[in-house]
Structure 1
């Protein structure tokens, strides 16, 4: 549901203004907030979502009203014949079944229209995948989601070093260098795989070089 400002006449007090909660798909005048100009009353009628898009495109956003004085100022500046005007207040009780708190919304203009009992959301294949609300008992195709499958990659590494003891500081530094190209990959983890004796590297004699050679694996 979305909020709109409207006016009414009280005997001895004159025209007053108040707010009401209405389905977001209804068509009304609206008021924007502009960072440089302040409140901007728009002499057009749109549903709440389209009004928000208009305000964000041409100004800053739909107006947030912080006081009775601002509410009165908006109503006093209403276009001729405007009975109600959208403001930036809304109530969104839509939630994802997996419990995630994503605030992303992709409703079709005029949706959700809060039809009686329309408590589930679906994608419209004829409108670039925008959303609409439907009866939860309606039968449609559906999309499932599963946990991403983890991939494990083992890499064998050979190094040449005159270092007698490979300290944890050295092996940590080597691992950091090895995975640097993929450091920003989501959920990527890397570690050394230890041998049966608990060591990371196995020393081998190089047939063509007197320098010791180390071998280890990382995953």
Structure 2
């Protein structure tokens, strides 16, 4: 039978979200509107309220402000964290998973959480077994948990005064993590583990402030004395002439900044695969091509590639190497 050694070329292209970049321009709008009204205006006329991620973005804000403070697209939406366990990027999450929306159970004290003074982002269990948000740098005793050999969750009280993050490190070193509480029965067990009437850290926390597209902000030029959640009602972001930020009541009317995406580009990663076949398979058969591309696509997706595009490349005959030899069976 004829046996052919065939060298084929397969190209595949992968795209990742992290490689996307946008070219944007900013527009100052000298009209007084609430945050929601401003966002609606920007969505109708441009792309959205301004998303400012760097000093480079600030350098594009050349227009002078007629007002001292204007809206930008930053918000700490209380509907996703106040008296609930939401799924937005600024919602509550357990330290064990680091992910929002993993459990709907909560046990907030009346009036909690309240993000007091724009500082309270970590959670304690009070003497009543209810929860409240507190400043993460406070020193408190804490409750860890472990999973026993019989797959039972066991809560352990630690009589050491630590900040929330230090308590988490201690629990991860000697147990599993700070207490993760998923239902009423577990909350009762965690409360029973505390022999005192003092409040103790548990593993609930959140990272406040997200952009309109649900992404978190790493660039944060907050003006310290104007960042305080005054009255518990300041959940929208503003910027001043010096490009400093402050929180403000979303219902106030202010000028605002829109941004418009002019061009979005995505870096492409291209990989060439050479396949040497020692078989009588006809590689140019469309059915064979389709099956191989499908299997490779599944494999690459499992390896973390996103938006994969696969195709065969037809080479000129001088580059297409095919050597046939005779063999006898």
**What band does the TM-score fall into relative to the shorter chain?**
0.3 to 0.5
**Greater strand share, 1 or 2?**
2
Q: TM-score, normalised by structure 2?
A: 0.34
Q: Using CA pairs below 8 Å that are at least 6 residues apart, which structure has the higher relative contact order?
A: 2
**Greater helix share, 1 or 2?**
2
